[in-house]
Structure 1
Amino acid sequence: MVRRAFERLSWPTSELQLQPPDGQTLINFDTNFFTDNTAPTTRSVTLLGQQVEIEATPSGYTWDFGDGASRTTSSPGAAYPDLDVTHEYASEGRVSPSVATTYQGRYRINGGGWQQIPGTLTLPGEPEALRVRSASPRLVGTASY
């Protein structure tokens, strides 16, 4: 019953953060990915007349980069300059990267001791729009000597 409640309850999905921001990146450039969804979330339910607290803690993240590549980590990534989860796109185009969050659960009845819920629960995240572009260096301006 607790396992079924764990699966039915609403848990937060991870919001994907991208760097560089503004929905654009460059080919052959480290694009940085991270999420802030790291804290446990607790919900209360009544099962068989007993008060049951269920806690879901993010334990893994599956990064879908939107170009056919993916990576699974225990890390939520990190903001620049701590490039923890990065990906280089090989060609121009529009992609829709996302991050799925895997939760481990535990529960307690009437404020007693915590017990693990067997298995995990994975929730997909919303894809973000990202345009991969190419860039060429160009000298501009005039020099005066």
Structure 2
Amino acid sequence: MKSGSDTSDYVAGHSDHTYSLRPACGVGGLALCADPATCNIEGHDGYLFNIYEDGKRTPLDWQACLTEQEAKRLGGLTPGLVQHAFERLAWPASDLVVQPPNGKTLVNFDTNFYTTNAHPTTRTVTLLGQQVTIEATPTEYTWHFASDGGSDGGSDGGSDDGDLATSDPGAPYPDLRITHRYARVGGVRPSVDTTYAGRYRVGNGPWRAIPDTLTVPGAAVDLRVVSATPHLVGY
């Protein structure tokens, strides 16, 4: 097993060859692995990599123990590199559906909210010459019922303008799962943010979890809170 500096010196000393790195799997020893084995050398924690020369299918008879920074510099795919790609990719913002429709609701009425963004989205990218599939699944929704800060029709706030976090995307009427009652008439701009959990696979390898989640803010919609107008009905 070689350290990062020894690996760099070896590659530099054999410039008449080309080299590539692939993670050494923590279980099974597969060359193509999304979950590299960990190691420690010269007091530094790192990941274990197999070294390939001139595109050969069989790696060299030694492995490199590389820190995240060393692996990036030498062209090795690491979990941190996948996390960075996950954060830079465009994942869908959730469209907010409000019922009653047409941008109006009643004061002191259970206004219904939901989004249809409830299924995984997949992107395929090439990282350091390897095909990586990244999947993002909505796991949490943060509902902002008066996201303009005015809250329930006024700029001075209100008692029921708090946000709500759920794992539920809500549902159309009559299945009321995410509702809010506005205490005052006026204009509000509700929205919903979506938190994604990610996983990835290299080639056809096993799926591995991406450690950190990612939150995508949703666009606000215009909503007018009105009072019901009584009408006299003749008999």
Question: Which TM-score bucket, shorter chain as reference?
Answer: over 0.9
- Is structure 2 residue 205 aligned with structure 1 residue 112? yes
Compare relative contact order (CA 8 Å, sep 6+) and give the higher one, 1 or 2: 1
Distance 1:126 1:118 in 2: 26
TM-score (norm 1): 0.95
RMSD of Structure 2 on Structure 1 (CA): 0.9
Per-residue deviation, 1:48: 1.4
Residue 132 of structure 1 aligns with which residue? 225
| Aligned equivalent of 1:89 | 182
More strand by share: 1
Whole-angstrom distance in 2 between the partners of 1:27 and 1:91 = 6
Within a 5 Å distance, the mapping from 1:32-51 to structure 2 comes to: 32-51=112-131
Q: Which has the greater radius of gyration?
A: 2
For residue 137 of structure 1, report the CA deviation from its aligned partner: 2.8
Does residue 58 (structure 1) correspond to residue 156 (structure 2)? The answer is no
**Which stretch of structure 1 is more off in the superposition, 85-94 or 63-72?**
63-72
CA distance in 2, matches of 1:61, 1:137: 37
127-136 or 16-25, larger mean C-alpha shift: 127-136
Q: Deviations over 1:84-132 (max 9, x none)?
A: 0000000011000000000000000011110000021000000000000
Percent identity of paired positions between Structure 1 and Structure 2? 61
Distance 2:231 2:211 in 1: 57
| 1:78 aligned onto 2:171 | yes
Distance (Å, rounded) in 1 between the aligned partners of 2:164 and 2:232: 38
Between Structure 1 and Structure 2, which shows a larger proportion of helix residues?
2
Equivalent in the alignment of 2:195: 102
Q: Distance in 2 between matches of 1:107 and 1:84?
A: 32
Aligned length: 142
SS at structure 2 position matched to 1:5: helix
Q: Give TM-score scaled by structure 2 length.
A: 0.59
Match among 4, 19, 27 for residue 107 of structure 2: 27
Superposed structure 1 runs of 4+ greater than 2 Å apart: 136-140
